[in-house]
Structures are given as structure tokens and as C-alpha cells.
Chains A and B, each alone.
Chain A
Amino acid sequence: MTISPQEAGRVVEARSVSKSYGPVRALHEVSITVRPGAVHALVGENGAGKSTLAKVLAGIEPPSSGAISLGGVPYVPRDRAEAKRRGVNMVPQQLSLVGELSLVENYLVVGSRPFVNRRSARSLLAATLDRARVEVDLDAPTASLTHSHRQLGEIVVALAEGAHTLILDEPTASLGPLEVGGLFEHLRSLCELGTAIVLITHRLDEVRQVADDLTVLSHGLEVHHGSATGLRPTEIARLMVGELPELAPRAARTRGAVTLRAEAVVAQSTRDARLDGVDLAVHAGEVVGLAGVAGSGQNLLLDVLAGFVPPRSGTVTLEGSRTVTITGSRASTAAAERGGATASTLRAAGLAWIPEDRRDAVVPTMSLRENLAVYSSSRGRRADARSRPQGSDDVSAPADRLAAFDVRPPRPELLAAGLSGGNQQKLLAARELGAAKTPNAVLAYGPTQGLDLRAAQAIRERLVDLAADGAAVLVASHDLEEVLGVADRVVVMFGGRIVADLPIAEATTERLGRAMAGLPADDTPRPAISEEPAP
């Protein structure tokens, strides 16, 4: 790839950049060159310093030492706004679009223009969309767009703001494989227009798919930089974590009776998702993977199974020390109230819960100890205290439990808000999966999201161990790899229904991808990868 003189003025080059937070050294003497018209993959474990480096480049955090230049001129952004003016912009992992507003309105509310003109803003965005060959509805509230469209919308807003260097923090974390393919096509066409893209990712196959350049960070040190082509994922993984632990061989487990069952469940969430007659049985001792593109209803199914959303009709049953049954009812408010009661009944019957958004389950203003022990607070002073066997819920050694799940730092008195996202995820797993008593059933949505390879593998092994101890485990994820890495059987949802149910041996990426896109299982030609699957 040749670089024109104009593009040479936009090369972002960081040299020997370090960043310390007090005694913690997040980055140490890291150098990176981001060139226009190329995708630069930035990979590394949790806490390797990827996000810190991205924040330094985007002006969100100043470096402790080192120098950054933009097109050969020193580049020392005071804040994010200045970095934006210089053309470097970051799209955070948690998208910043305001859901109630359309893309045009979102564009109008960001930035520091003294006057705004809706019509000119709209035409500017439309031109940007056209240039990037993206089709996104500019006038619909962004909350009504699919996740991948919101992602693209955020990118388009950044481009319209004049960004020539885009930093994307794990943009594929919640996209299905087809959506990822679509996003990558758009990224490539942006590159052809001369945009530089820094792609932070955990998924190593993405590096091979889309990246031109590669920087690998490990514990704040840069351990590799160079061309991304010709590197195999296993080589990159070895660079990241040193020696990658082997996947534990799948021990044959005996499948027991059905523990968790949904029968003809029809439900409607307050948002767009719905369930349209779902039948699902999860047996004791098996791990069932639940795949589907965003908005197919997996989320709602888990909410129904956890007792948060009452089904309109159909039943949910959890077999345990006692049997809990939720029956659908049309009396919505009364049912909603009962729904609340059932969430705690199900938990008491041994249902562990890891939600898609860890912020639903981790209380940042509470200490790690309190977060671990939060369910003890639901114990009444009367009946439960007597009936509960001693030490059934092991909260006596929170430090040990934190250490067992590799929560860093494993200090029980620390506030959960002080943990990084990945460590909050580990904390959540420690609470839900780390109790001394094996849960009867586990509902987990993306249990390893935001975790590095080693931590993700530890959680996977824990899930499999729980199944071996007799738990019925249901793992849902946008990330097919996460599902395939742990499941004995894969169930695919599309449009509120279960459209495929395959044993792991038959669950090829090809077949699952077709089911997730809502295509029949025969051998009709595959759609072009850039096509958006219908939600």
C-alpha cells in the first residue's frame, strides 16, 4: 500500500509511551504507528493496556511519558475534544449514542458547533454514509436500530465529525458472525478512502480476517508489532499469553433428567424482542449453547427463564430440591408482580444467573465482599435461617473465592466500581458459579465477555465442571466461538423461535451461521456476507 503525501500528514505515531496510575504501570514504553488506509489490530489480554493505549491516542488520558506525533507534528491533545478536532476519534465499547434520538440528532448533540442546522447536518451524514457505502436509517431513534447499525451509526457520526483515524474498542463484542462480516466490509471500504482504523479485539480470527498491521500488548509491554498477514491465530495467542493452556478434553458426562424446561413459551418484552412458542429442555449434566444474532429473542428467553419477565402463555419449570413452575397469564400487571416473586423463588431453588450486561448484576457502590454475599441478604431472619444447612453458601472466605476466580485485586473491602470491566465479570462469575453448593441450573449470557483467553477458559471450565456436578447449564452468546467452546448441544434462535438444535459434532460454523440468518438448512446458495440478516 503506497501512502500519498496527503495521507502521510495523518500518520499517528506514538513512541515509547508509558502510562502509570499511581504505582500501577498500565503501559511501558509502547510504540505504535497507525497508518492511513489500513486496519491496525490491537490485541492483548485483559489489563494488557489496550484500552489505556487507545485512551492515550484519543486524548482521554494523557501519557505519563513518551511522545506522540500526528503527521510528523507533535500531537499532545489536552482532551478528547481536541483529539477529535485533530481527527482522531474513538468509538467506545459501550456505544454513546442517545437511544431516543436519531443519528442526525445524535450528531447534532455531540461536538461543539455554535450553530446547528438540522438540514445541513442530515446531508453531511447522508454524504458520509454514501462515501462509506453504509446504509443506516438516519431518522429513526437509534434504540430501534439493530446493534450493528448502531455501531455503524456511531462510526458514521465520528467520520462526519472529521475523523481520519478511528479507534474502535471491541466493536464486534456483541455482533453475530454475519454482522461481523458486514462490519468488516465497511471497515475495508473506509480504509480504501484513506481512513486509519485501530481495531481493539479479543478475537484472533478477526485479526486474520481484516487486519493489515498488528500490535500485541502483554502486561503493558509491546511484545509484537508488524504485519498481520501470515500470522496464525495460535501464534498470536502465544504472543499474548505466553503458553496457551490446552482446552481440557471433554469428559463424557451422563445426561440426567430434564432440570430446566420451557414449554410453548410466548412472551413479549418492553422493547422489540418477542418469543413465539419456544420449547427448550436442558438436562442435568449438559451444557446447552444458545446462539442467535442480536434481537432473535435469546435475551428475552433468558429473562423468562430467570423469572424477570412473565410469559404470556406457556410454562417454565425448574426441577430442584423443590419444583418451581411459572405459568403464563394474560393479566399483565398481576403477572408482572408474580414475575418478580418468581425471580427470587427460582434463585432460591438454585438458579444461577449471569446476565448479558454485567451492570445488571454487579453493584458498583458495594464492596466485593458485599457483592459476593448479596444473596445472603435475601435470607429472612426467620424460616430460612433455621432450614438452611450450615456453610451451604460459602461467603466466609471471600478473599479465597475472589482469588479462585482470579479477580484482581482480590481485596474484599474494595468497591466493585474500582474493578475493570473484565474483573467485574470475574466477580460476577465468582458469585454465581463459585458458591459451595452446586446450582441446579445456570443461565449465562456471554459469561466470558470482556475476558482474556486465560480467564475466559477458566470460566468455561467452571461451567463444564458445574455440569459434571449435575447442573443444567444454558450458555447464550453473540459470540459463536464462546458457545462452541463449551456446549454439548447448540440451539439456534431466530425471530423468537428455536430454528435449530444440533449436537456439538454437527454444529459447524456453516450450519449455525445459516440458522442464525434464518435460512433453511438445505444447500441453497449462501447470501452475500454484507447483507444484513433480518432481525
Chain B
Amino acid sequence: MRLVRALDRRRWVLTGAVVVSIILIAGALIVFAGADPLLGLQGLVDGVSSSPYRIGEVLVGAVPIGIVALTLIPALRAGVFSVGAEGQIVVGAIFATAAVFAVNRMLDGGAPALLLWVAGFVAGAVGGGLMALLPAFLTVRWRVNEILSTLLLNYLAAGFLGWTLRTWLATDAETATPQSDELPDAASLPSLIPGTRAHWGVLLVVVLAVVFLVWQRSAASTRLSVFASRPKLALRLGATRSRTVYSTMLVSGLGAGVVGWIQVAGVNDRLLSSVSGGVGFSGIAVALLGALAPIGIVAAALFFSALSAGAVGMQSATGTVPSSIAEVIKGVLLMGVACIAAYQRQPAAVVAPAEPVVADAPDGPDAPGPIATAEAEEARA
């Protein structure tokens, strides 16, 4: 118990150190760019909150990151480190766009909105799911490292998107960048808050967060944690390698595919070559930053999105600080999170020597008390 308390204390000290260093680095960058840090901070706050439209932008940015991160929870908990969300978003977006156009054409342009939404949603999920099952199969069948295969498949997906936008989904209009035709109006996701771009996808994040909150207390969740660290014991619980890898990667693929649809139907109204825009990687970062807990992930997704939106505000307020300062801050933050996770793991190795190092799961020894009790309750019920 003393050890646990000492661990907690060190964790807080380390977290404080990370926050302080982020503030120092950001301040230094602003000063170096020749601006007043306080003015920059003012711009940042204004960029996020000065109008309903800006608040809407934060939500719009948080939706795809949040969905990717939430649906990555099972995979990361099981130690299946899939970094393929980027490519799954792309394939989901292509499938969704093609499905929307196909359905619309079949009904001679008169398809009802609901049908187009369902078609886009399902097609996006199928596309993302298929894109995730491929590396899952490679991992299960030939033990191909899933980090490598998912990472490389992202490039394949990007290439496929470029080809698609120049051939079978290319618009007839003259455009500066390759893109598809505009989706029919009925296919667009309606906005949730009038006057903003915030669309109904926001509600999907809330639903997913609740679903994963409940799921976290389920037996399946425990099984995945056991799988990550004790494969033999997991076998006795029925969690085979193939079952675990297929199911967890499928969930993340479905989520990413739906994000592809949302980006096309809710944000851009057409398929662009920048449809994924790094959201897949931000999703992993946010999942880890949120410690694989739904509430934490939603908060982290909002924070990431607000940082990007606020940096634009900072750029216009100061005139000299580029908005890419947001990426620097995210990078420093991620390094800090990685340090905290690594530091947390270290003393555990002293208690139980020669532990196999699990590739992720920074949420290990956090407050098992109430959750443990709840899980036991659940198990008994």
C-alpha cells in the first residue's frame, strides 16, 4: 500500500512536470515568434470560445478523433496495437461515397435522406471493417506484426484514394485538387446546432462513450486485459488469439470506417484526398492520453480539437505565431504521457521481476478499488 501511494505521488509530480514543461515550451515558441504570450493566450481562448461557430468547430474536430479513440479501446486493452485507423477512415470514406452515389443513382436522384444516411453509415463501416480484417488475418495466420501491417496498409489506402479520385469517383468539374462530385444534399448530416458545422455525429460520440463505459465493467473487458498479459489464462477464459485479434481490430475498423463516412457526409460534403487528415493517428494519441477510459478519451479529444482550433485563433490574434504550434504542443504532450506510462511501469517490475513488458496499457495500476468491486458484483449477478 505504501508503494502504491508512493507511486501515486510520483505520478502526480511527473504529470505536473509535463504540464509545466508544455507551458514553458509553448511560451518560449510564442516569444521566439515575436509575439506577446499573453496576447497569444488570449487569441487561443478566443479561437475556441468567442462565437457559437467556433465552439461548433471544436466539436466537429473532436468527433472523428473521439470515435477512433473510443473504438480503439478494446484493441489497445488487449495489447493489439493497431495503427491502421488512418487507412480504415480512407477506405470507409470511399465505400460510403460510392454507396451514397450508387443509391442515389438507383432512385434517380430522389433518395430519401434516411436511406442515404444508412447507406453511407453501413458502407463506411463495411469498408473500414474490411480494411481492419486484412491485417488481423495476417497477424493471426502468419503472425505478421500488426503495427507494421496496419501502418503500411495506410499508404496503400492513401494510394487507392488518389487513384479513386482521379478515376471512377472523380468529379467532372475543373478543380484544383482531386475530389469527387458533391454529395446530394439529402446525404449531408444535418447540423446539430444552427449556425455551426457541428453535426449529428456529436451524438454518436456520446452514445459510444456510454456504450464503452458500460462495456468496461463487462466480463469481455476483463478477458481482454487478461489476454494482454496472461495469454494462457486468457485461453482458459475462452479468449483465443484469433478471436481476440479479429474482434478487437474489427471494432476499431468499424469505428474508423464510420468516421470516414462522417467526414464526407458531415464536414466536407464530398470525398477529398485529405479526408483522414491525421485523425487516425490523433485517435491513438487521444486513446492513450485518455488512459483508455471513455470519459478521459472524450475530454482528450475535445482538448486536442480545441488546441487546433485555438491555434488558428492565436495565429490571427498575434499575426506571427503559426497555427502549427498546436502540433508541437500535442507532440510534447504525447511524449510526456509516454514518460508517465513508462515510469509507472518501472516500479512494478521491481515488485514482480522479469515481467514481460506489455506494449501499452498505461491504465494498469490505477485505482482498481471501486471498479474491481463493481466487476465482482457484475460477475456475481
Assuming the contacts A373-B376, A374-B226, A418-B4, asked whether A364 and B348 have C-beta atoms less than 8 A apart, the reply is yes
B354 near A369 with CB under 8 A, answer no
B364 near A377 with CB under 8 A, answer no
Assuming the contacts A340-B240, A415-B4, asked whether A395 and B351 have C-beta atoms less than 8 A apart, the reply is no
A370 near B375 with CB under 8 A, answer yes
Determine the residue in chain A with the shortest Cβ distance to B348: A417
CA distance A92 to B353 in the complex (A): 10
Shortest B74–chain A CB gap in Å is 14
Assuming the contacts A343-B236, A344-B236, asked whether A373 and B352 have C-beta atoms less than 8 A apart, the reply is no
Q: Within the complex, which residue of A307, A370, A374 is in contact with B368, where a contact is CB–CB below 8 Å?
A: A370
B residues 196-250 in Cβ contact with A at 8 Å: 219, 222-223, 225-226, 229-230, 232-233, 235-243
By a CB distance below 8 angstroms, the chain B residues around A355 are 232
For the complex, is B107 an interface residue (Cβ under 8 Å from A)? Answer: no
Q: Is the interface of B mostly helix, strand, loop or mixed?
A: helix
CA distance A380 to B233 in the complex (A): 17
Assuming the contacts A377-B222, A378-B223, asked whether A366 and B236 have C-beta atoms less than 8 A apart, the reply is no
Shortest A97–chain B CB gap in Å is 11
CA distance A340 to B375 in the complex (A): 25
By a CB distance below 8 angstroms, the chain B residues around A373 are 375-376, 379-380
B237 near A377 with CB under 8 A, answer yes
A337 near B232 with CB under 8 A, answer no
By a CB distance below 8 angstroms, the chain B residues around A367 are 368-369, 372
Assuming the contacts A367-B372, A377-B219, A413-B372, asked whether A344 and B352 have C-beta atoms less than 8 A apart, the reply is no
A375 near B4 with CB under 8 A, answer no
CA distance A418 to B243 in the complex (A): 32
Classify chain A's interface size.
Answer: 35 or more
B353 near A366 with CB under 8 A, answer no
CA distance A369 to B378 in the complex (A): 13
Q: Within the complex, which residue of B229, B239, B351 is in contact with A363, where a contact is CB–CB below 8 Å?
A: B229
A residues 282-303 in Cβ contact with B at 8 Å: none
By a CB distance below 8 angstroms, the chain A residues around B348 are 364-365, 417
By a CB distance below 8 angstroms, the chain A residues around B351 are 364, 417-418
CA distance A361 to B379 in the complex (A): 19
For the complex, is A376 an interface residue (Cβ under 8 Å from B)? Answer: yes
For the complex, is A21 an interface residue (Cβ under 8 Å from B)? Answer: yes
By a CB distance below 8 angstroms, the chain A residues around B232 are 308, 343, 355, 360-361
A residues 466-486 in Cβ contact with B at 8 Å: none
Shortest B291–chain A CB gap in Å is 13
Q: Within the complex, which residue of A96, A337, A370, A415 is in contact with B376, where a contact is CB–CB below 8 Å?
A: A370
Q: Within the complex, which residue of A92, A344, A363, A374 is in contact with B235, where a contact is CB–CB below 8 Å?
A: A344
Question: What residues make up the interface of A, taking CB atoms closer than 8 Å to B?
Answer: 21-22, 92, 94, 96, 306-308, 333, 337, 339-341, 343-344, 346-347, 353, 355, 359-367, 369-370, 373-381, 395-396, 398, 413-415, 417-418
Known: A306-B236, A344-B235. 9 other contacts (CB 8 A): A94-B354, A343-B235, A363-B233, A365-B368, A367-B369, A378-B223, A378-B237, A417-B365, A418-B4
Question: What residues make up the interface of B, taking CB atoms closer than 8 Å to A?
Answer: 1-4, 141, 219, 222-223, 225-226, 229-230, 232-233, 235-243, 348, 351-355, 361, 364-365, 368-369, 372-373, 375-376, 379-380
25 contacts between A and B (CB under 8 A): A96-B354, A333-B141, A340-B235, A340-B239, A343-B232, A343-B236, A346-B236, A360-B230, A361-B230, A363-B230, A363-B233, A364-B229, A364-B351, A365-B225, A365-B364, A365-B368, A367-B372, A370-B368, A373-B376, A375-B236, A376-B219, A377-B223, A395-B376, A395-B379, A418-B4
